[in-house]
Amino acid sequence: MQRLPVFISQGQSRNPIKRELETLVSEQLAQHQQLDVIRIPNLYDLTPANQSLTTLQDISGDFVIITWLYDRSTHWILNRNKISGQVGEIELIIETDDEDAEMELEDEDEKERVVASLDIPNRKIFSLSFPASNTPEDFVNEVLRIAELPRDESLTQWIKGKPNEASLQRFLEPTNDTALQGDGTLPILGQSGVTQIEDSSSRRWYPVIDYSRCTNCMECIDFCLFGVYGVDRLDTILVEAADNCRKGCPACSRVCPENAIVFPQHKSPAIAGGAVDAGGLKIDLSLLFGAPDAQDTAARERDEQLMLAGRAPVEITNDNDLEFVEISMQRRQTATPGQAHDPLDSLIDSLESFDEMN
* pLDDT above 50: residue 320: no
Q: Smallest Cα–Cα separation from 123: which of 261, 1, 264, 4?
A: 4
Question: What whole-number distance in Å separates Cα of residue 265 and Cα of residue 260?
Answer: 15
Number of residues that make up the chain: 358
86-87/237-239 β-pairing: unpaired
Of the two residues 344 and 302, the one the predictor is more confident about is: 302
User: Residue 333 has what pLDDT?
Assistant: 41
Could you count the other beta carbons within 10 Å of the beta carbon of residue 100?
A: 13
Read off the pTM: 0.72
Q: What is the CA radius of gyration of the chain?
A: 23
Q: 299 in helix, strand or coil?
A: helix
Q: Could you read off the pLDDT of 276-289 as tens digits, one per residue?
A: 654 444 444 444 44
Does an H or E element contain 270, and which? helix 269-272
Mean pLDDT of 9-26: 95
Mean pLDDT of 241-261: 93
User: Residue 279 has what pLDDT?
Assistant: 45
* pLDDT above 50: residue 155: no
Mean pLDDT of 199-215: 94
Could you count the other beta carbons within 10 Å of the beta carbon of residue 42?
A: 21
pLDDT band with cut points at 50, 70 and 90 for residue 325: very low
Question: What whole-number distance in Å separates Cα of residue 188 and Cα of residue 7?
Answer: 12
pLDDT band with cut points at 50, 70 and 90 for residue 79: very high
Compute the C-alpha angle 78/111/332, nearest 5°: 85
pLDDT, mean over the chain? 79
Task: Fill in the amino acid letter for 326.
Answer: E
Mean pLDDT of 244-273: 93
Least confident of 24-28, 126-130, 352-356: 352-356
* pLDDT above 60: residue 259: yes
